[in-house]
Every structure is written in C-alpha cells, then in structure tokens.
Structure 1
Amino acid sequence: MTRESMPHVVALCGSLRDESRTKVLLESLLETARKTGATTELVDLRSYELPSLHAVESEPPDADRLRATIDDADSVALGTPNYHGSYTGSLKDALDYCRREEFAGTTVGLLEVAGGEFPGSAIAHLRTVSRTLHAWPLPTDVAVPNARTMITDEEIADEAVAERVRQLGRDLVAYADVSRYPETVSRGTATETESEADD
C-alpha cells in the first residue's frame, strides 16, 4: 500500500532480548523516519508466535498478521544481532512466512549489531534474502561493531553510529516505494526537517 504524502516505515527487530541493542537502533531509526514525514511501526517478534516453517501442521494466525504488516509498508528496516556470522533464527522464521507478494517493490534498509569487531556478514545475507523476495535493499546500511560500548540500554553512545542510523531512517522515507521511480522522486532526497534541526 502506497502513501504518496506520508510513507509508512516498518521495522522488524530480530532480537528477542529484553534489553535489545538492535531495538535501540531501530527505535532511533523510526523516530527519525517520523520526523522526516513517515508513519512508523516496530514489529517486536516477541509478541508473535512464529514457529519454524512447517514445524506445525497448520499455519499460525500470527503469520497472516505479519504478512499484512509487511504488505502495508512502503519501506521495511530489518535489524538483527550477529549470531555466528549471520542473522537470528527468529528473524529467519519471520521472513520464511513472508512471500514475494508482500516484499516485492518494497524499499529495505539493513542493520546489524555485533559484539565483536567485524560486523557485516548478517547484512550480506539479509541483502540476498531481500533481493530474492524482489525487494529493493538500499546501499546505505548500518553495521555496528563492539555493541556493548557503542549502544547503551536507552541510546546510541557513538555519534557517528547514531548519525548513520538517522541517515538510514531518512533514506527509508526518501526512497520509499522506490520501485515506482520516477514517480516517487518528487519527494526529493532525505533532509532533516525543521523539527529535527531544532532538537
């Protein structure tokens, strides 16, 4: 579903931890997206019952709920901690329930949080998944190393990381529904709104 004047940005959090650093990033991204002129929604997979695909005989009702949320989005942010060089099983299960019909033509932004020094592999895997689902992954992404020092329980401690997250939030608004280019180019490039500049 496309909103010409107010794009809708949805973020999927692949972390199930109560004090999730991935969630802190996504909340900052969505705050920027709202300031840039979007409506937003955070999908906390802890509130969804999504067992491994085909692990149960009938499809869980939450699969339809998730697909409807993705189908309603103009842009989707996929955020994950790095688990053994890839993205989490919870995010994998969620994406397995989605079809190309929901993701096709949707702008996607990618974020990865790593405890060590070399993030990026989870983003590479999610970029492949996004393309397979016929989505449009943005060239801008956010890969955060040494997350324990970069992100506190409530905020991003490193300003360079914080600005990259904000830029991805702006890009998700500016290039929402990018598959309909050049119609959507009238929204222009992402810039800070007056309300954001005053903060």
Structure 2
Amino acid sequence: MTESPIRVLCIGGSTRPNSSSEKAVRVSAAAAEAEGAVVDLIVSRDLMLPIYDTETSERTPEAERFVAAARAADALIVASPGYHGSMSGMIKNVLDYLEDTNKDERVYLDGVPVGCIAVSYGWQATVSTLQSLRTTVHALRGWPSPFGATINATEKIFDGDGACIDERAKFGLETVAKQVVEFAKLRKAGLVTDLAVAGTV
C-alpha cells in the first residue's frame, strides 16, 4: 500500500497582494512540493478573516477553509511581514482560529512541524518577528523548524515574476521547507511520536 503524501499548509503575505512575504511563502511552498509534499497555499487577502470571536461558532467560508486545511495538514509554513517589531495582526488573527481545534484529537498544532519565515524592512524587525512567530507556534504546541528564514525586504530579493534571486534568501526559504517536510515524514512513519522521545521535555 502506497503511503499518502505529506500535506503542507502554507500561509503568508499581507493585505497587499504580491507582497514580499507572499513571494517568500510561495518560494518555500514550491520547495516543499519539490520534496514530494502536497501543498495547500492560502495567501494575501484570502487570509483577511474576521477578528476571531470566541462568543460565536459562526465562521465565514474563508475561515472554515483555513481551519479545515490546518486540520488536514501534516506541516505548516507561515510567512509574516514584520509590523512594528512583531508578526502582523492578520497572520496572528489567522493563527487564533486554531482555537477551533481545541476539542480535536490533535489539539491546535500539537506535534506539527511549522516553518517560520519573517519578512521586514530591516534586519532588526526580521529577528523580532521571527521570535514572535516561534513563540506563538510553541503556544500552539507546534514544533518550529530549527532554521527560521529571515528576509530583509530592503534588498533585492525577488524578480518581477516572484522568483528568488538572492542566494542566501533562497537557501533559507528552501531549508525551512525541507526541514518541515522531513520532520513530517518522520512523524508519519512513527519514527518520532512525541516530545519526550525527542528529549525536549
């Protein structure tokens, strides 16, 4: 029996279509596909969900799509622009919708590898944004990728078609994808089963 492929949910971008953070997550998504993963890509304005509301179970079709994709995913890749030293409100709000999985067999992102990508104008904000992504992933019980990609948008990183033309940035985006796919394969094969096995608790 053929083993089902790894499913990777890739989210990122800003309210501006074709932003640098959207281009970044697309490069990483393509690298995940090259590793044999099936990719579900949700970017830019498709991530503009209503503020997460704990007082109602009503959800927009876009919110339902995101939660369903997260439930089906073996791994995630998240790319956020840096807004005032942290991840954007849009990306944080999307991740807040994972609260809808709090009664699932797999709560939140429990044991799920998550690739973290931070894009900002300047190196200082990329570092703090990456840290905020890692902190939120930890809170959701996910495993941030050992390598976190940081993209300084003041430099020439992408061409007009969205291809990454900076070798350092390309290496980072592709490494994030390779790491989450590799770890998801180990999890799916039962070679890593919980945090205790990995010696992290």
Interval of TM-score (by shorter of Structure 1 and Structure 2): 0.7 to 0.9
Aligned to 1:168: 176
Q: Does 1:123 align with 2:130?
A: yes
- Contact 2:13/2:20 (<8 A) preserved: no
Q: Which runs of 5+ in 2 are unaligned?
A: 194-201
Q: CA deviation at 1:97?
A: 1.2
Return closer, same or farther for 1:66/1:23 CA change in 2, 3 Å cut-off. same
More displaced stretch, 140-149 vs 130-139: 140-149
Return closer, same or farther for 1:147/1:106 CA change in 2, 3 Å cut-off. farther
Over residues 134-159 of structure 1, what are the superposed CA-to-partner deviations in whole Å (9 max), with x where a residue is unaligned?
11111111011244522344122211
Aligned to 1:52: 51
Aligned to 2:11: 12
- Contact 2:12/2:91 (<8 A) preserved: yes
Residue 69 of structure 1 aligns with an amino acid whose one-letter code is: A
2:116 to 103, 110, 118: 110
TM (normalized to structure 1)? 0.81
SS, match of residue 140 in structure 1? coil
Q: Does 1:21 align with 2:20?
A: yes
SS, match of residue 175 in structure 1? helix
Counting only pairs closer than 5 Å after superposition, residues 21-170 of structure 1 correspond to structure 2 as: 21-48=20-47, 50-54=49-53, 59-61=58-60, 62-99=62-99, 100=102, 101-118=107-124, 119-153=126-160, 154-170=162-178
Return closer, same or farther for 1:122/1:181 CA change in 2, 3 Å cut-off. farther
Structure 1 segments (4+ residues) deviating >4 Å:
55-58, 177-182
Return closer, same or farther for 1:93/1:5 CA change in 2, 3 Å cut-off. same
Over residues 162-199 of structure 1, what are the superposed CA-to-partner deviations in whole Å (9 max), with x where a residue is unaligned?
111111111111011665685269xxxxxxxxxxxxxx
Residue 163 of structure 1 aligns with an amino acid whose one-letter code is: F
What is the root-mean-square deviation in Å for CA atoms of aligned residues? 2.5
Q: CA deviation at 1:55?
A: 9.0
Aligned length: 183
CA distance in 2, matches of 1:182, 1:103: 17
Residue 43 of structure 1 aligns with an amino acid whose one-letter code is: I
- Contact 2:22/2:44 (<8 A) preserved: no
Aligned to 2:197: none
- Contact 1:107/1:178 (<8 A) preserved: no
Return closer, same or farther for 1:47/1:180 CA change in 2, 3 Å cut-off. closer
Instruction: Among all aligned residue pairs of Structure 1 and Structure 2, give the percentage whose two residues are the same amino acid.
Output: 26
TM (normalized to structure 2)? 0.80
Over residues 104-126 of structure 1, what are the superposed CA-to-partner deviations in whole Å (9 max), with x where a residue is unaligned?
12110100111123221111111
Return closer, same or farther for 1:159/1:15 CA change in 2, 3 Å cut-off. same
Return closer, same or farther for 1:157/1:58 CA change in 2, 3 Å cut-off. same
Residue 97 of structure 1 aligns with an amino acid whose one-letter code is: Y
